[in-house]
Amino acid sequence: MNLKRVVVTGLGALTPIGNNVKDYWNGLLNGVSGAAQISRFDASKFKTQFACEVKNFNPTDFLDRKEVRKLDLFTIFALVSTQEAFADSKLNLDKIDEDRAGVIWGSGIGGITSFQQEIIGFCQGDGTPRISPFFIPKMIADISAGYISIKYGFRGPNFATVSACASATNALVESYNYIRLGKADVMISGGSEASVIEAGIGGFNSMRALSERNDSPETASRPFDKDRDGFVLGEGGASLILEELEHAQNRGANIYAELVGGGLSADAYHITAPHPDGHGATKVMKNALEDANMQPEEIDYINVHGTSTPLGDISESKAVKNVFGEHAYKLNISSTKSMTGHLLGAAGAVESIASILAIRDQIVPPTINHFADDDQLDNKLNFTFNTAQKREVNAALSNTFGFGGHNFSVIFKKFN
């Protein structure tokens, strides 16, 4: 069938290194670390006492105070990042067919902050169930998509994707499919996460997934470094406005890039560990290339999942070599999680924006905190260590992999 072309016309970001797209991008290019001692609660008794928190952020600067009380932080992040993306797109609500405009939003965990607060409140009480009437709407992972659709009046496809750390990329791929199949003209898509709380830090600590470099938080997220010891938990959200090409051109929209392909696969191996030979990661990148009708040699930059875990970084680098062969040595590879930390279900949206802006500005953001080569990796690969690199970037691929073995890749291309 004749598939529609899909372009990106609006961007919004709320991250640990910048509360808007401009500041986020500048933070990436300048190698800024968002990691610091946790400010939201006393983490002194935890094995990990630091995270990448969103900083200098007051929700009431963007939303009504009464509305904020009804929302979990992950939904606040979703609404605020979408507010920026929508304004950036310059869409006119009076000229949109609301029945052909939708929202697909990703979150791996949803309202875990609200869940923790209600349970603590119940346990500290006298046993009488005094549960907030907003508890369930604040907690459920689909509520961000619902709130966004209500705010903008979008009556088209509307749901949440939950695939752990791949959730936001999952949402982007689904949105891309609805538009290219002719079922929607405009989609708001992205992801948000707010898990820097006791349950989040404690849960990941018990899995031995987090870095415990408490004496140097800013250098703790070190993908592909010999001494990496786990990921750094992050939070925030990012939103992308996707449009059918003719719809965007007819209104004279600014087009950042074209979304040309999406891939899906499963490791079918382990609930948390990646396949040691990168089978699932290999398959998902091949699927994305096939979907985009592109050859491996056409990719210039890969924004890798690159979490800074001992096993994950090795597995993904093997997969890159499996897919790209000799061209792997001509690619730029970087993990922006070295700066933002791991935003879990929001990671794919935040990192897609980095990929898109790499195409716009012809520069690849770095993988910071590289101090020593790991002999288990092929160090001839260009991991863009420590400093951003100018180069021609016509196409970029972004990877996200989630607990449960969920793998998603998405490809953006310079619009011509």
Which of 214-229 are b and which e, b meaning 16 or more Cβ less than 10 Å from the residue's Cβ? Answer: eeebbbbbbbbbeebe
**DSSP per position, 37-67:** E--SS--TTSS--EEB---S--GGGTS-HHH
Tell me the longest C-alpha to C-alpha distance in the chain. 66
Q: Name the residue with tokens 């609500």.
A: 93
Q: Which amino acids are annotated catalytic? A: 165, 305, 342
263 beta partners: 409
> Residue 86 phi/psi, 5° resolution?
-65, -45
Token pair listed for 414:
């310079």
**DSSP per position, 246-296:** HHHHHTT----EEEEEEEEEE--S-SSSPPTT-HHHHHHHHHHHHHHT--G
Number of Cβ atoms within 10 Å of the Cβ of 123 = 8
Spatial distance between the Cα atoms of 229 and 206, rounded to a whole number of angstroms? 14
Parallel/antiparallel/unpaired status of strands 363-364 and 332-334: unpaired
Instruction: Residue 275: name the closest of 367, 408, 406, 166 by CA.
Output: 406
Burial of 234 (0-12, 13-18, 19+ CB in 10 A): buried
Instruction: Residue 15: name the closest of 238, 242, 223 by CA.
Output: 238
Cβ contacts of 415 within 8 Å, gap of 6 or more: 7, 255, 256, 257, 258
> Residue 191 phi/psi, 5° resolution?
-165, 160
Token pair listed for 393:
């970037």
